[in-house]
Structure 1
Amino acid sequence: MSALEIRDIRKSYGNVETLKGIDIALESGEFLVLLGSSGCGKSTLLNIIAGLAEATSGDIQIGGRSILGVHPKNRDIAMVFQSYALYPNLTVQRNIGFGLEMRKVPAAERDKTVRDAAKLLQIENLLDRKPSQLSGGQRQRVAIGRALVRKPQVFLFDEPLSNLDAKLRLEMRTELKRLHQILQTTVVYVTHDQIEAMTLASRIAVMRDGRIEQLGTPEEIYNQPATLYVAGFVGAPSMNMLQAIVENGGLAIAGSDVRIPLPARFKNTVQSGAQVIVGIRPEAFRLATGTEAELSLPVEAEVVELTGPELVTTARIGTQRLTACLPPRAGIAKGEIRSLAFDGDALRLFDPATGKAIEATI
């Protein structure tokens, strides 16, 4: 039995369909991230799970029990909001324990539960403060603590780190990962930040226009994107997309006289003369040594940016551009013509007409 099962969930506002049939089944302890740009439907889906919005059709089950039509307080969930939603007139201790107080939990039991949660979140010394006396990261910990004491079957997080600065977001990502490893509770987490998704999730659902574009592990999403949209959305810098034509067992890069061998795994899945999109991750490139000419692309460097750990190089190949993430001491300068080598396994092919990945044979 799945801890959370979403069956063909659809949501319409008049003639506008915002969710177009979502199907996901989560086992107990999974960390699912709903990832996508604004307007893709991820927050709408989360609100339907939480009971803050009603589905037009479909069903959602928690622990084998349908929760559609069930009041939010009876769904055995806890939600952490983007805005923290703390009571400004209550102390941290009362904010964390407020839900228990409303359920008439005895004071001694309530106090112990709150202190246990505060210890887990490392905010024991803040229990007597008011929210106005806390930093953004501390307020987020209090909001998480309030959800923790509920001990629900499913945690829901609605972009909880978006109000924090870059350093605090990194700290809180680590904290959330640590908490999930300790508690092993089922989590549904909404974000538009791919780094959060890749670092936190056990599975990612990439959403687009009310549909799931791809559902898989972070490794599958990153290394085997199912569509051009996923390939372009996940990754920073995003995957390079080069237009090419299949010719005589090779790939002729459009707008140039460059031709690279067609990997053997695609020989039975693409026909000669077919137009394809060649996808290569920026970090898959390295400077060619001369022994890898058959798997390299000659390029002219246009912009070279040192980020610290990487030398991000924007280069031109004929009329097209690509990005390569090279070691900081790679020794490439603007205007230089160099060959960038890559392994054949790093190459992905997409159908430009459908936007879908072309399946490879083993």
Structure 2
Amino acid sequence: MSALDIQNIRKTYGDVETLKGIDISLESGEFLVLLGSSGCGKSTLLNIIAGLAEPTGGDILIGGRSVLGVHPKDRDIAMVFQSYALYPNLTVHRNIGFGLEMRKVPADVRDKAVRDTAKLLQIEPLLERKPSQLSGGQRQRVAIGRALVRKPEVFLFDEPLSNLDAKLRMETRTELKRLHQMLKTTVVYVTHDQIEAMTLATRIAVMRDGRIEQLGTPEEVYNQPATLYVAGFVGAPPMNMLNVTVKGEQLAIDNSEMVLPLPARFRGIATDGRRLILGVRPEAMRLGEGGGLTLKARVDVAELTGPELVVTALVGNQGIMANLPPRSAVATDAELTLVFDEQAMHLFDPENGRALA
């Protein structure tokens, strides 16, 4: 039995359809990340799972039971909000145990559960403090503890790290990963941050305009993007996109004299004369001659980030980026020879945005 089934969920506000038929099934222990830009519908879907909003159509099943019309407190879920939502007048101990207190759990059982959770989150010394005496990271751990202590069927996280600074966000992300590996809980996590999605998820649902563009493991979404949108959204820097035209068994790069051999896996699909978009990730590029497909490019800008040199260059009049070793000898306006493996090439149909299989 699946821990969570989202079946053809639709949501309409007046004439605006926010969710357009979402189908996802989560097994127990999975960590699903809903990834997308603002306005794609990911938070609306999370609110529907939580019972904070009702769908226009479809069904939500938790542990095999439909929860439509069921009050949020009776859905066996726990939610961690972006804003922490702690009670300022209560201690950390009472904040964590507040849900158990409302359920009339005996004080001794409640105290043990709170202390066990605090130990797990490494916030035992903070139990007698008030939220105003805590840092942002500590407050977020208290909010997570309040969810953990109840041991629900499904945990829901609504951009819980977005209020933290970069260093603290990375530390808390690692902590969440460790907790999930330890507890094997079922999680639905909303974010617009692709790094959070790639590092935390067992599966990612990339959302756009109320639909799922692609649902798969982080490796599948990154290495086998199903659409142009996914290819451009997941990855930093994003995947390079070059307009090309099929000429027999070659790909001619538009507005340049460059041609590349058409990989055998695309022959028969990429027919002669067809216009396509070639995708290759910046980190797949390397300097050199031979050993792969070759592009000649003229350097526009080179930016040293520390661990790598990010080079922006032109192939004809089309821009590409390459992540190179930091000591690479690259001069502005110089010509580079960039090489990448045939397997790193992706081809997309510019009309429907779908990847060629």
The aligned amino acid for 1:161 is L
For residues 311 and 333 of structure 1, the distance between their equivalents in structure 2, rounded to whole angstroms, comes to 12
Map 1:1-362 to 2 at 5 A: 1-288=1-288, 290-292=289-291, 295-359=293-357
Q: Partners in 1 of 2:7 and 2:198 — Cα distance?
A: 25
The letter of the residue matching 2:268 is N
CA offset at residue 34 of structure 1?
0.1
Which letter does structure 2 place at the counterpart of 1:291? Answer: G
2:248–2:271 CA contact under 8 A, matched in 1: no
Residue 333 of structure 1, CA deviation: 1.6
Q: Return structure 1 stretches of 4+ with deviation > 6 angstroms.
A: none
1:306 CA displacement: 0.5
Question: Equivalents in 2 of 1:152, 1:183: separation in Å?
Answer: 12
Cα deviation 1:145-182 (Å, max 9, x = unaligned): 00001100000000000000000000000000000001
Deviations 1:279-300 (CA, angstroms, capped at 9, x unpaired): 0000000002x334x6110001
Deviation at residue 248 of structure 1 after TM alignment:
2.2
Question: How big is each residue's C-alpha offset from its partner over 1:306-347, in whole Å with a ceiling of 9 and x where there is no partner?
Answer: 001110000001010000001111111211101100000000
CA distance in 2, matches of 1:99, 1:295: 59
Opposite residue 178 of structure 2, the aligned amino acid is R
Distance in 2 separating the partners of 1:166 and 1:286: 29
Structure 2 SS opposite 1:304: strand
Structure 2 letter corresponding to 1:13: Y
Tell me how large the CA RMSD over aligned residues is.
0.6
Identity %: 75
CA shift for structure 1 position 268: 1.7
- What is the CA distance between 1:51 and its match in structure 2? 0.3
**Counterpart-to-counterpart distance in 2, 1:279 and 1:150:** 46
User: Does the 8 Å CA contact 2:5/2:60 hold for their aligned counterparts?
Assistant: yes
User: 1:88 aligns to what SS in structure 2?
Assistant: coil
Unmatched 5+ stretches in structure 2: none
- Structure-1 separation of matches of 2:307 and 2:331: 17
CA-CA distance at 1:269 after TM superposition: 1.1
| Per-residue Cα deviation, 1:47-83 (whole angstroms, up to 9, x for no partner) | 0000000000100001100001000000000000000
Determine the C-alpha separation between the residues in 2 that align with 1:209 and 1:232.
Answer: 15
Deviation at 1:225, TM superposition (A): 0.3
* Structure 2 counterpart SS, 1:335: coil
Aligned counterparts of 1:333 and 1:184: Cα–Cα separation in 2: 50
Render the CA deviation track for 1:195-245: whole Å, top value 9, x for unaligned: 000000000000000000000000000000000000000000000000000
Partner letter of residue 235 of structure 2? G
- Partners of 1:140 and 1:202 lie apart in 2 by 22
Tell me, in whole angstroms, the C-alpha distance in 2 between the residues paired with 1:179 and 1:12.
36
Give unmatched runs, 5+ long, in structure 1: none
SS in 2 for 1:98: helix
Structure 2 distance, partners of 1:348, 1:53, is: 39
CA distance in 1, matches of 2:124, 2:150: 18
Secondary structure of 2:116's match? Answer: helix
Q: TM-score, normalised by structure 1?
A: 0.98
Matches of 1:309 and 1:68, distance apart in 2: 50
Residue 99 of structure 2 aligns with an amino acid whose one-letter code is: G
Q: Which amino acid aligns with 1:300?
A: R
